[in-house]
Amino acid sequence: VEPTQEWADEVRRLAKARNATLLAHNYQLPAIQDVADHVGDSLALSRIAAEVDSDEIIFCGVHFMAETAKILSPEKRVLIPDERAGCSLADSITADELRAWKAEFPDALVVSYVNTTAEVKGLTDICCTSSNAVDVVASIDPDRDVLFLPDQFLGAHVKRETGRDNIHIWAGECHVHAGINGDELTAQANAHPDADLFIHPECGCATSALYLAGEGFVPEEKVKILSTGGMLDAARETGAAQVLVATEVGMLHQLRKAAPGVDFQAVNDRASCPYMKMITPAAMLRCLREGRDEVFVDADVAEKARKSVERMIAIGN
Ligand code: 13P
Ligand code: SF4
């Protein structure tokens, strides 16, 4: 199925007939982003999911995001066009592994990135996203140990920014972001010395970016460690003619729309998330025609998980 205008018209017609709202993550294929009612990062989309008054949410993203939408709006039907769209980062810690880790640090508070399963969120004190991880950890009593999971690069960023030494970091990673490495970033930064660098904190190259700035290879003000939502805000404000972007390549579509005069280039143009790209034009049609795949979260798990997500939302963005 090609994402033609006829395809888009059919998607819109079916969504209307179902009274469904279409949400798409920033890493979706451009055609899926363009047909959706709302495009955003995982936190913004969860908030929208909780607020819209349609009967149904169709979540074009990965499974943990659709689960979070279901946790926040249990009364709505939540569909994902392909339930096999998982996440290698969410898979890097299981609920049993977290139980064992908590047993080693019984007095610690658990901070989990939203890229986790509902069961892991249910064992969590406060959730965070890449846009608010530093604020969430900074809000915790400085004498209290923190278990931060599952992303080691985001954890290292939070540790640097908060200056805490009582933060224990799980060694998980997203294979897409971890693969954007320091050598590639250095080569690109050398080839484009006037460009700004927008780096997602999940990237393997985040430390190299700070090294380049710290050693004076790149002016400090040109290096920005940002969530996907933060990148869009920075794109509208940058004075640079070119920006090198270290995150999943789907992000370039929204950046180019937000600042058409700026030349956005991927630091690694192979950084495409295979799970995000399982939401194809054909999968969208199947979802809208057959009402599949529906997302269910066990009621007890959802209630516990909701508390950790709501605590995050209360701390702010
Ligand atoms: P957000 O910027 O939406 O939090 O997402 C990062 C990510 O990798 C989601 O898969
Ligand atoms: Fe998960 Fe990484 Fe894909 Fe995001 S880009 S959904 S963290 S595998």
Annotated domain spans of the chain: 5-85+275-296, 90-174+303-315, 180-266
Reference 152, options 160, 163, 144; nearest CA is 160
Q: Which fold has domain 90-174+303-315?
A: Rossmann fold (3.40.50)
For residue 246, the CA-to-ligand 2 centroid distance in Å is 13
For residue 208, the CA-to-ligand 2 centroid distance in Å is 21
Q: Give yes or no for a contact between 225 and 246, defined as CB atoms under 8 angstroms apart.
A: no
- Block means of pLDDT (10 residues each) for the chain, length 317 residues? 97 98 97 97 86 95 96 94 98 98 98 96 95 92 97 94 96 95 91 95 87 84 90 95 97 97 96 98 98 97 95 77
User: What pLDDT, on the 0 to 100 scale, is given for residue 317?
Assistant: 52
User: What pLDDT, on the 0 to 100 scale, is given for residue 208?
Assistant: 83
Which two structure tokens, joined as six digits, stand for 286? 């199947």
- Confirm or reject: Cβ of 28 under 6 Å from ligand 1: no
Residue nearest to atom 1 of ligand 1 (CA): 41
**Ligand 2 atom with the shortest distance to the CA of 90:** 1
**Ligand 2 atom with the shortest distance to the CA of 248:** 5
Which two structure tokens, joined as six digits, stand for 149? 């999971």
Q: Do domains 5-85+275-296 and 180-266 have the same CATH topology?
A: yes
Domain 5-85+275-296 belongs to what architecture? Answer: 3-Layer(aba) Sandwich (3.40)
Q: Give yes or no for a contact between 180 and 246, defined as CB atoms under 8 angstroms apart.
A: yes
- Confirm or reject: Cβ of 186 under 6 Å from ligand 1: no
ipTM: 0.96
Q: Which fold has domain 180-266?
A: Rossmann fold (3.40.50)
- Confirm or reject: Cβ of 62 under 6 Å from ligand 2: yes
List alpha helices for the chain, DSSP H. Answer: 5-18, 30-35, 42-51, 63-72, 95-104, 118-122, 133-138, 152-162, 175-178, 182-191, 206-214, 228-237, 251-258, 281-290, 299-315
